[in-house]
Amino acid sequence: MTENEQSRQDWPPRMVVCVGTVVLQENRALLVRQARGHALAGRWSIPWGIVDPYETPEAAALRETSEEAGIKAGIDGLLGIQNLPRQGWVAIIFLCHHLSGIPTPDGGVETDRAAYLSLEDLAALDEPIEEWCAWLVRRVLQGDYRTIPLRAENPFHPRLAFI
């Protein structure tokens, strides 16, 4: 067995694709506090989760935002892709805008708080924020980002594309 074949055997059996959203409403971003029992319990983060089988990343991102925060959002574009600390896990992050709803946690299943926070609110928050989410949200709220917009003219239309 070659070294490359051995290293492939050590890989996870499949890639785990997570999705997250930075949902903006005016000069504030949507954050949720992870509930007890969650790996990030007690910490604020963006709404995020794992893409279900046969679900597109953008549908999963909007579903997670609705489930975890009670917010219906619209996707403006792709913010980026992040390799996560767990081997074989990757996150796709979308920039979104608020369509409807009031930030409402899911009752403690995954989240126990939800709110739109400004840069000033983040600075005054006396609870922990997941480090990467804090970094990302601050960059977006400061205007330090670019998105790849949705491209409807893509030949695979009506499948969404951000190319």
Nearest 10 degrees: Cα torsion 98, 131, 48, 57: 90
Answer whether 22's CB lies under 8 Å from 105's CB. no
- Report d(CA 35, CA 43) in Å as an integer: 8
Per-residue pLDDT, 1: 46
- Where the chain has pLDDT below 70, the residues are 1-13
Reported as a single tens digit per residue, the pLDDT across 2-36 is: 555 545 555 556 789 999 999 999 999 999 999 99
pTM of whole model > 0.75?
A: yes
Nearest 10 degrees: Cα torsion 123, 45, 83, 94: -100
Domains of the chain: 13-149 (3.90.79.10)
Per-residue pLDDT, 69: 98
Per-residue pLDDT, 108: 87
Per-residue pLDDT, 162: 81
Per-residue pLDDT, 8: 54
